[in-house]
Amino acid sequence: MKKIFYLLLLFAIYEQQNNIPNLNDPDENNPSYMYLPMKKNHKYGDDICYYREYDDKLKYIIYYVKPCEMGKYCQFETQHQMFGYCVDIQINPSSLSKWKESCETTVDCQSGLTCDNSKCVDTSTCTNEFFQKDLTQFQCLTTNEKIDDKYCKKYEYGYDSNNNIDWTKTITYYGNHPGLPNECGLIHYKPLNYKGYDSGNLVDDVKYIEENREWCTIGSVPDGEFVVNEKYCYSGFTLNFYPNKLYENPSKIDTSLPDKKLCVTPISVDNKNKLAGGSCIITYKISDGTPKQYNLGKVSGATCSYKTIIESERHREFADAFKEANEEDKQNCSDIDYNIYHCKNSKLIKLWYFKNHIEDYLFFKDRDQLKKVLDFKIQRKYPTYAFTKYLNTSSLLLLLFLIII
């Protein structure tokens, strides 16, 4: 009797159906649909990855979906098609010959290079050296420029009699691009004491000038550093400051607004705060420092979003996984939206998807019964995403109890 009771209980768990809320619709012309996992016993064939049916009672179009196996993706032009089919991925990453590597003709060489004497080279006539600015740009150095591979760009300033910058005496140093996933994104500033004119009078003042820029990768820059783009920050988030890392202008003459992107970690968002005139207040910290507040109402064009904190968390999660990835994955997965067929690391693809689709992260993160739907949506966006085989937890639990009994 006891054995029968356990069996009935487990079958009840196995057959239980959860209510599935509607997903946001990416097709504005068809706002009434939902995704559901495709059942194994459907009648359309194993190569079908989605089909749609209209539910007269719910007045909804229901898309039954599943991801395709590794090496395939779901092919359909629009959601208005009745079916989607699993087809082979035809696009695969390939490599071209780089600087001074062997070639037969110019088409064997990467962009920016020409095949000359069976080697891929830059055939521009340079009176000085040349440098590789990024992956495909090769550029001649002018007379007053030099190479220093430690930095992607560095200045050795010359000054006039007022200690202001004399660009005719300034030397610019460049570094050759070290290869993907490196980009020129980390900026360092330094103070300059000089004499400038204020209301016609020559006065002592201070301003911050760019000292150098370093190579960095996505998520590699810690809090408290300036960047070209917030994607380089470990936090994935920046606030605008002056180059002295304060919101107060260090200069008495310069009247520009703070516009340098400083990496910080957001802690909380307070939208439409009355003390901020209905604007947003961001509470942030720099590494393990004391939390501080930033009134976005004082910053022209600043925006506030409830997604800020969770976007930063997802970016950090991606940055941690990216740091641990092998070199091939780092080269191919630093910008998955650009290299959509190159990244083959499914963990990085999933984390990238989540950090750029916060609504899907919030909806799918704890819904194991909708795993097929999530995998379908990720693979639809990034065809090289390979899902893990599904294990029905209820069936596994049932099997385990039967073995124990």
Does some domain include residue 73? yes
Instruction: Identify whether the C-beta of residue 65 lies closer than 8 Å to the C-beta of residue 86.
Output: no
Torsion of CA 229, 232, 238, 242, to 10 degrees: -70
* CA-closest candidate to residue 315, choices 382, 240, 237: 237
Angle at alpha carbon of residue 375, lines to 372 and 378, rounded to 5°:
150
Euclidean distance between CA atoms 117 and 102, whole angstroms: 9
Does some domain include residue 84? yes
Indicate if 42 and 62 belong to the same structural domain. yes
Instruction: Identify whether the C-beta of residue 133 lies closer than 8 Å to the C-beta of residue 153.
Output: no
Residue 284 three-state SS:
strand
Indicate if 34 and 70 belong to the same structural domain. yes
Indicate if 9 and 87 belong to the same structural domain. yes
Q: What does the block give as tokens for 200?
A: 């016609």
Q: Could you list the residue range(s) of the whole structural domain that residue 112 is in?
A: 94-123
Single residue among 104, 123, 142 that ends a domain in this structure: 123
| Cβ partners under 8 Å of residue 366, min gap 6 | none
* CA-closest candidate to residue 152, choices 169, 172, 171, 168: 172
Identify the DSSP state of 178.
-
How many folded domains does the chain comprise? Answer: 2
Indicate if 41 and 109 belong to the same structural domain. no
Residue 230 three-state SS:
helix
Q: What does the block give as tokens for 232?
A: 């380089």
| Cβ partners under 8 Å of residue 255, min gap 6 | 249
pLDDT of residue 130: 86
Indicate if 83 and 25 belong to the same structural domain. yes
Does some domain include residue 368? no
| Cβ partners under 8 Å of residue 68, min gap 6 | 49, 74, 86, 379
pLDDT of residue 235: 97
Residues of the chain with pLDDT under 70: 1-31, 77-80, 300-302, 388-405
Indicate if 26 and 87 belong to the same structural domain. yes
Q: Please, how many CA atoms are within 13 Å of residue 167, restricted to the half-sphere of its CB?
A: 1
Euclidean distance between CA atoms 267 and 270, whole angstroms: 10
Indicate if 61 and 109 belong to the same structural domain. no
pLDDT of residue 354: 96
Mark 28-55 as b/e (b = at least 16 C-beta within 10 Å): eeeeebbbebbeeeeeeeeebbbbbeee
Does some domain include residue 104? yes
Indicate if 16 and 87 belong to the same structural domain. yes
Euclidean distance between CA atoms 348 and 368, whole angstroms: 20
Euclidean distance between CA atoms 270 and 291, whole angstroms: 14
* CA-closest candidate to residue 103, choices 130, 88, 121: 121
Does some domain include residue 309? no
Q: Using a cut of 0.75, tell me whether the model's pTM lies above it.
A: yes
Euclidean distance between CA atoms 247 and 282, whole angstroms: 14
Does some domain include residue 49? yes
Q: Please, how many CA atoms are within 13 Å of residue 50, restricted to the half-sphere of its CB?
A: 27
Euclidean distance between CA atoms 88 and 243, whole angstroms: 51
Indicate if 104 and 86 belong to the same structural domain. no
Indicate if 118 and 69 belong to the same structural domain. no
Indicate if 100 and 85 belong to the same structural domain. no
Does some domain include residue 315? no
Single residue among 123, 144, 166 that ends a domain in this structure: 123
Does some domain include residue 242? no
